[in-house]
Chains A and B, each alone.
Chain A
Amino acid sequence: MVKITGGKVYDPKNGVDGVVKDICIDDGRIAEKADGNARTIDATGMMIFPGGVDVHTHVAGGALNFARGLVPENQRAARKFIHTPERRTGIGGMTPTTFATGYLYAGMGWTTVNEAAVPILSAKHTHEELHDIPIVDKSTLLLMANNEFVLDLIEVGELERAKHVVGWMIWAAKTYGVKAVNPGGVAAWKWGKNASTLHEPIEGYKTVTAAKIIAGLAQIIDDLGLPHPLHLHQNNLGVPGNVTTTLETMKVLEGHRAHLAHLQFHAYGGHDWGSMKSEAAAIAEAFNNYPNLTCDAGAVLFGDAVTITADGPWQHLLYELTGRKWGNLDVENETGCGIVPYVYSDRHLVNAVQWAVGLELLLLIKDPWRVYLTTDHPNGGCFWRYPEILQLLMDVEFRKEQIKKLPAEARNRIVLADIDRQYTLSEVAIITSAGPARALGLSQKGHLGVGADADITIYPAQANDDGVLFSYPRYVLKRGEVVVEEGEVRAVSEGHEFVVRPNFDETIEEYIRPLFQKTYTMSFENYPTEMERLRHPDVTACK
């Protein structure tokens, strides 16, 4: 039993905003009261937040591992984690090793992460890496919008059967939700093409369009009753002028729940790199009127990054822009993947606009419950730099100082300088924890009400010497156990993995098996991930 006394509590879900109150923990959950034997943590003068929840990150699996191999020079320069009695050896940096990923997230006060891109074919690999990411709880999203079995069913209008196939696949991969990446575009990439419009047929199909895939999957996910809505990486990511695609996609999604991932990369105007500008205001205005949608920022920070995405055609374009390294993977009938190391420069017009767009979206979207803090780690920047973004959101003077450093031409193409909004501490708790937990359908996360998991981050109320408020938590508790003190990992626990069990017709396997045996390079029996492979599964049954 633990009792935390004297701290100001920020628990927006339960309407608590900076009130000094005791938090009691019993058996890893928040409790009404603690008995006299409870360990007491004196949090006087500190701020108590629900542990952070990252709704969109890339921390495990085949693509990330490929990226690790592609950038050894970054790993040499990265922070080293030396073996200690509590900790395993590891490397930080842009593509941290598994154990280091857990230490870095927990050390920052984040206690739940959502790995946003898992192909079924590398689900086993992903789950085994997730075992080795300690402390944090994990969920995973299955890549679906370029799966040829599903696309073939959409082609012939068999959405009902597609629903059962999707349900079977989610359970086969032991994942938590569905991610759509560049719907149709990755399938077209296998023909050297892309899907840059929503309503034209995808290469290789007669009737399938990106819009049909998006609407179909959103419908299937609603029908299956998954806790997390369709998690959508839209078409034309990163392309100047993609604002029209994004606005059109919002229309396609009318009547469905959906989460728009890394919206920053989808909010550009102009018609080429020279004329690219921010359209965050138009995107935010439209988004404000679609209560069915949530999004995450996918903010960009200046400095090194590694771009990792299933969006193969975009990665080839980015490689042609950088002229450095490029990795490309084909994942049989399911998806693809591209890796390109990238440096966001504050002297570069395009990068400066991207930096501003991420912040503009976070500031212009009115409801903090529908926009969440991410960098699409490691695409826009590393997750361990989130405190830098919080500082930019909370301090308008600091933000304006940073805007002055941008190239003059870039300042004409953004609206950030005109925004005076500053995030409150309660809003920070929403975009870092309460909001993403709600979007993921994790009712036990993101708040400090009785019965919630005791994932708690206690920050000093004063900024550190760099002026950054949230960089080093004083304490982090995971399921009631103190895992971090003074920014140092003190104890290492194993996190849980969230999995959903959708309702589907089990006989669908007889439809999938022959198709699979005809088209895949492995045997069907080895395809699904066994439950035994997950260390601490936490299974949610759908309605």
Chain B
Amino acid sequence: MITLTLREQPVVPLEAEVVTPDVTASLANDAIRALPVYLGKKQCRVDDFFTVEGQASDEIEIRGDAKQVKWIGRGMTRGKIKIDGNAGMHLGAYMKGGSIEVSGNVSDWLGGEMTDGFIRVGGNAGGQVGAAYRGSRSGMRNGTIIIGGTAGLEIGMRMRRGTIVVGGLVRDFAGLEMKGGTIVLLSGAELRTGAWMNRGTIVSLAPIPLLPSFLYAATYNPTFLRMYAKHLGTLGITIPYDAKDGGYRRYIGDSSVPGRGEILVWNPHAS
């Protein structure tokens, strides 16, 4: 495992897209130290900011508060990045495979436009998780993002496939212009969830305010959620599905697009 320890907090965000297993796996430590990172328009070396230790491998561990370090794991296809602390914007953007685990908080654009892979964040995430970059037609196309804490605006914006699970409260516009995939909100969301969504599923275990353009369809216990629950169970997430505990209220929308997405809101039996 290669260990990068942040020695010094950069004054402006540091762009470190070379910190991926694809780049570092085959390099000696000296070569990793010499890789370019950008501080503003200035090109620097990895070892201007990080101490590099360990042996060549497709696992990278980052220690220290990397909240100012952007683009870690950009486009990675394999291996693992473990971040012991926080991470900056665009973590795992465009990633195609492998996994990223973060113990602390991350900033915006986590897993932006990722096509596959697995990301787990222990703390809170910023906005635009798994979203499409500005102007792009699609956000994440596959893969899984699990966030223990809260998340910001526009998570899953224009996502096409894949799964996002958020443990804490999510801010406005979750699933904005969503085209497919699944967002699971364990603690609900603030306003305008699913606005302009075309297809896809948003599951909320807590009551959420809905746009008037979402129409109530039925209360039921969808079979596919039983399978989802089993899969998510292997990742340590529990979602209810049993009819004896309650049902899901299904809302279809966003009818202003008009779209055929669905928002499923868990409605437990009164006890």
Q: Taking beta carbons and an 8 Å cutoff, which residues of A are in contact with B?
A: 70-74, 76, 83, 89, 324
Contacts and interface: CB of A to CB of B under 8 A. Distances in A.
Interface residues of B, number: 6
A76 B41 contact: no
B133 A89 contact: no
A73 B41 contact: no
Contact of A89 (B41, B135, B136, B137): B41
Contact of B133 (A70, A76, A324): A76
B41 A72 contact: no
Contacts of B136: 73
Contacts of B134: 72-73
A324 B135 CA distance: 11
Contacts of B137: 73, 324
A76 B134 CA distance: 10
Given A72-B134, A73-B134, 14 more contacts: A70-B135, A71-B135, A72-B133, A72-B135, A73-B133, A73-B135, A73-B136, A73-B137, A74-B135, A76-B133, A76-B135, A83-B41, A89-B41, A324-B137
Contacts, number: 16
Nearest to A341: B135
A71 B134 CA distance: 9
A83 B40 CA distance: 12
Nearest to B136: A73
| List of 3 A-B pairs having minimum Cβ-Cβ separation, nearest first | A73-B135, A72-B135, A73-B136
A72 B113 CA distance: 14
Interface string B77-115: 000000000000000000000000000000000000000
Name which of A72, A73, A74, A83 has the most chain B CB atoms within 10 A of its CB.
Answer: A73
16 contacts: A70-B135, A71-B135, A72-B133, A72-B134, A72-B135, A73-B133, A73-B134, A73-B135, A73-B136, A73-B137, A74-B135, A76-B133, A76-B135, A83-B41, A89-B41, A324-B137
A76 B109 CA distance: 15
B84 to A, nearest CB: 31
Nearest to A73: B135
Nearest to A69: B135
A89 B43 CA distance: 14
Contacts of A70: 135
A69 to B, nearest CB: 9
Nearest to A89: B41
A74 B136 CA distance: 9
Nearest to B134: A72
Contacts of B135: 70-74, 76
B135 to A, nearest CB: 4
Interface string B108-138: 0000000000000000000000000111110
A339 to B, nearest CB: 13
Contacts of A71: 135
Nearest to A77: B136
Contacts of B133: 72-73, 76
